Structure 1
């Protein structure tokens, strides 16, 4: 599942452009519509993973996409991080993902807020190509 895939687009270019524009607006609206939640996520992760650390929190984004059964939609939060090459070279990617997920999933107040705001999943991303779901 890629971060830039928000909705299934129709086959025409115009429909794809319209869908992407609407997706971007929807993500922006969702991010801005819950400032308290956004502030809590930002504060938790910026403190746990500061800019000068080997793994640092960059930003988060809300994403909505059709569910697998096409009967509804799924809402998830993608947490973007920067990771030093040394961590990747030492094959510590899985441990880093676990640490980030554990930081979020053990903050019960934050999990309750995410649930109350309709989030179904939290994903961790270190680049634009890959996401790792917190289970």
Structure 2
């Protein structure tokens, strides 16, 4: 079960790295604006906020990927700590998005389901 949790965590991390690119690199492009539903003026006005927010997503993704790598190098305790912290933070951020902006439920689910499953499988795998 731990391996399943690690795979799901890695997939969640890849999604969060992609979100980083959309928010911190591509924020003002037509494609990113279409995904986030912002006008050109809104994207320009919120560019600094999105840039910062994107890095949160990147750092969470890095933490989980580092955990996966450390597991493969024989460090299961450190690995589990990083994966559970990173993926757990992803789940909590998705929950905040869902509660604060119910109209963005689809985005919250896209960023929150895989890390939630990763957390569940990691905990079950570690407990058994």
Normalising by the residue count of structure 1, what TM-score does the alignment of the two structures yield? 0.29
Structure number with higher helix proportion: 2
Structure number with higher strand proportion: 1
Pick 1 or 2: higher relative contact order, CA cutoff 8 A, min separation 6.
2
